[in-house]
Structure 1
């Protein structure tokens, strides 16, 4: 069956979802004017429903958006402005058309089923929700691509998306149907309580909100008990539940390969080669780019971004770049002493350029990424999507992050080489060679003792000695 119905007189009926109604994309502008106020006129700040057809009423969302509801089986909700006669005529015509389709297809509707319609010139978009099963559904066979929904691994996983869409509808139209049940509110409290425990006992929790944020949600919902029928509370519960089900979809909740920790990848992704690029980047950056690459990969597992981890990543990068800026500035200041000493001009200019490039790179990166520290997880995901290479992933981004510190270290090495040249000029070749060999030995020992290979070798040696001591005591 097709994903739309066409008629010559009324346009096209198409399926949509509660996340794709264009609710926050309107561009209409209000015109202010003076109004005549009758004597002794008491105006209540709520919409007027007297001039609407029978069974229709107007409601106001807690955010201020007016919408209209018709009681019946099914109930109908729409954000089309029914106080305009032409709009009311279109809504009435499309509701009748859909009711005829329901009758033709023998769909049994109750007052717990709601129909949403959106007027689009001569066309109409629609979906149904069921307040009993907490699902969203349509009259024709569709696939997720038709509805602009993400792909799923099974029909069972689609049920999670369907419930997310249902709670999104509840959030958008909370004022008319009597509120959420106490069971739904209590169940949400239990979910958030588990999330708090998970955040307290694990650094890789898959819940998208921090312990403090979850505690805020719990406090909010506990204060709402006893007011579950109020539309404002209904809106709150709907919004939080929709976020929970969105996270359940992303973590493969209830599926064979569910995500049990934030850093666990559960989606197939082809491996990238080009090992020579990684090797070259690590050599040039003293392996600093490898650290940033690991951090970027960790914050973007399966293209999923958690707000807390993103903030920690950017905060850590900004701290590193400030340290590189200060180090590069200090290195530049050291060149003042070279003016009065017999140094190698080429090396002096090279080290100064490297320090200057490090200082400039740090400044530009802080200017670029400082404002990104406070963006939302969705915005962070979209940004990382835009800068990730299909072939090299985050390899070049990591190298860019590492450049300020790498340039500073290269500047220090060239500055040290200039110092060796000055030692040769003032104290002779033998002394300069001795200083160079000693420095190389110190660098080698530092690299070796701080390397993973050295630590593994030391651990193996301790294990061997422990076994030898055990053997000697037995003898």
Structure 2
């Protein structure tokens, strides 16, 4: 089958070569070798699409193929009477295609044929958000034949500023589709002089369309413009709770894990569980989850590096203790336990660093796989947090065993030693006890310093007794 073709080749928008810029040939549109009335546009990412100005029809399939051209005729008759500012786009193959109608006057898109009398005031807010998202998603795929409008630029900038303000006000609790850093970077790009000055800036059009597609997609899911302040806050709180994980995922540790957490593991896994929950929260954007998880992975590797350094120093000190002549059996046993736990901390920490460092900058699908496997293993996230805490837990046990070994070596002269040796041993042991009490006090203080404290406990009881005593004195006086 043959069809009439235009004689134009790759063209520029200018008809008069008044300067070198005017004579520059654009590679974004072409008419040569196409049916009459059709123009081929090249997307900034390289693919092509076709448009007929007379029939107001956009086609994603290759109109240069005779079979495609033969089948597209029936669709042209359906779109020729569309009102000004409205066009249609065929989705799918020409044989089984359905249309999406694009209203450039109101920046909306829908799968139903638009009514000439319809306007924005006839739409509910959820419907408007959905149609705006469809519109900007269409522009993202077909940006070349569209000229940037000032209102689109203003809307994108204002939305990014709104998200930036939300990050400033809510911090980590922000549900914005862009991170604070992404908002700053996009605002800097949009503030570039001449961003919207050129009508051939197709990449700028695509960038604006990408931003507004994300904006309206988020607003649709956030029920933007549909609820009062309190109801909207409750809705967002429910979103945050549901983003932590699926109902089937095990989040809180069971009884056995609680005993392990608070007993042999000294409560250390609780910190890893809290960080893991925060890093695996999905806030609506895959890129945001990947960035959060990358930051969490980098934090893990830094912590493990510090633990390995301390374990190595402790291992050297323990080997020095074992080399002391005349060390007793008790000191020798605890020193060996310290050696084994130090080696375990170093080995596990080095392996975890190797595995996590190799997967810091990975595709989003790998991040989701990690989170999915961690949530759905036998013990869930609490069990995974327990495994992540092994390097510091083993380090604490190594330090404990080394301390006991040194204490046993200190008290060796008590059995069978001279009075001077016994006295000096008790003096050294007393100093050891004082230092141990100070260390434990410091550890306890800085383990709870970042948590809100209630009036319960000894301090609370003291305050109650003091107030009662004052009241009794006032009554008697």
Q: TM-score scaled to structure 1, two decimals?
A: 0.70
Higher alpha-carbon deviation: 131-140 or 212-221: 131-140
Measure the CA separation in 2 of the matches of 1:275 and 1:427. 46
Measure the CA separation in 1 of the matches of 2:127 and 2:337. 60
Q: Does 1:349 find its partner at 2:336?
A: yes
- In the TM superposition, residue 57 of structure 1 has moved relative to its aligned partner by 0.6
CA separation of 1:340 and 1:81: change in aligned 2, threshold 3 A: same
Paired position in structure 2 for 1:113:
87
- In the TM superposition, residue 446 of structure 1 has moved relative to its aligned partner by 5.1
Query: Which of 154, 160, 176 does residue 186 from structure 1 map onto?
Result: 154
Paired position in structure 2 for 1:398:
385
Paired position in structure 1 for 2:10:
none
Deviations 1:150-199 (A, max 9, x none): xxxxx96576455334322211210113x242112112111112223333
Q: Does 1:169 find its partner at 2:138?
A: yes
Secondary structure at the aligned position of 2:31 is classed as coil
Query: Which of 244, 250, 273 does residue 293 from structure 1 map onto?
Result: 273
**Cα pair 2:30 2:41 within 8 Å, conserved:** no
**Cα pair 1:448 1:454 within 8 Å, conserved:** no
Paired position in structure 2 for 1:240:
211
CA separation of 1:428 and 1:225: change in aligned 2, threshold 3 A: farther
Paired position in structure 2 for 1:8:
none
- In the TM superposition, residue 67 of structure 1 has moved relative to its aligned partner by 2.3
Secondary structure at the aligned position of 2:400 is classed as helix
Measure the CA separation in 2 of the matches of 1:227 and 1:329. 62
Paired position in structure 2 for 1:330:
313
Measure the CA separation in 2 of the matches of 1:209 and 1:447. 39
Measure the CA separation in 2 of the matches of 1:379 and 1:133. 40
Q: Which has the higher contact order (CA 8 A, sep 6+)?
A: 1
Measure the CA separation in 1 of the matches of 2:137 and 2:463. 58
CA separation of 1:48 and 1:320: change in aligned 2, threshold 3 A: same
Higher alpha-carbon deviation: 300-309 or 193-202: 300-309
CA separation of 1:274 and 1:189: change in aligned 2, threshold 3 A: closer
**Cα pair 2:281 2:289 within 8 Å, conserved:** no
Paired position in structure 1 for 2:67:
89
Secondary structure at the aligned position of 2:58 is classed as strand
CA separation of 1:439 and 1:216: change in aligned 2, threshold 3 A: closer
**Cα pair 2:90 2:97 within 8 Å, conserved:** no
Paired position in structure 1 for 2:12:
none
Bigger Cα Rg: 2
**Cα pair 1:358 1:403 within 8 Å, conserved:** yes
- In the TM superposition, residue 335 of structure 1 has moved relative to its aligned partner by 2.6
Paired position in structure 2 for 1:270:
247
1:395-434 to 2 correspondences below 5 Å: 395-428=382-415
Paired position in structure 1 for 2:119:
none
CA separation of 1:335 and 1:163: change in aligned 2, threshold 3 A: same
CA separation of 1:332 and 1:455: change in aligned 2, threshold 3 A: farther
CA separation of 1:125 and 1:262: change in aligned 2, threshold 3 A: same
Secondary structure at the aligned position of 1:388 is classed as helix
User: What runs of 5+ residues in structure 1 fail to find an aligned partner?
Assistant: 1-41, 141-154
Measure the CA separation in 2 of the matches of 1:196 and 1:303. 15
Which structure carries more helix by proportion? Answer: 2
Q: In angstroms, what is the RMSD of aligned CA positions?
A: 4.3
**Cα pair 1:170 1:235 within 8 Å, conserved:** yes
Query: Which of 283, 303, 316 does residue 299 from structure 2 map onto?
Result: 316
CA separation of 1:333 and 1:125: change in aligned 2, threshold 3 A: farther
**Cα pair 1:307 1:377 within 8 Å, conserved:** yes
Q: TM-score scaled to structure 2, two decimals?
A: 0.70
Measure the CA separation in 1 of the matches of 2:238 and 2:292. 10
CA separation of 1:453 and 1:74: change in aligned 2, threshold 3 A: closer
**Cα pair 2:307 2:391 within 8 Å, conserved:** yes
1:45-84 to 2 correspondences below 5 Å: 46=27, 48-78=30-60, 80-83=61-64
CA separation of 1:465 and 1:339: change in aligned 2, threshold 3 A: closer
User: What runs of 5+ residues in structure 2 fail to find an aligned partner?
Assistant: 1-22, 114-123, 417-421
Measure the CA separation in 2 of the matches of 1:309 and 1:72. 49
CA separation of 1:318 and 1:231: change in aligned 2, threshold 3 A: same
Number of residue pairs aligned between Structure 1 and Structure 2: 410
Measure the CA separation in 1 of the matches of 2:376 and 2:169. 35
Measure the CA separation in 2 of the matches of 1:456 and 1:313. 34
**Cα pair 2:177 2:283 within 8 Å, conserved:** no
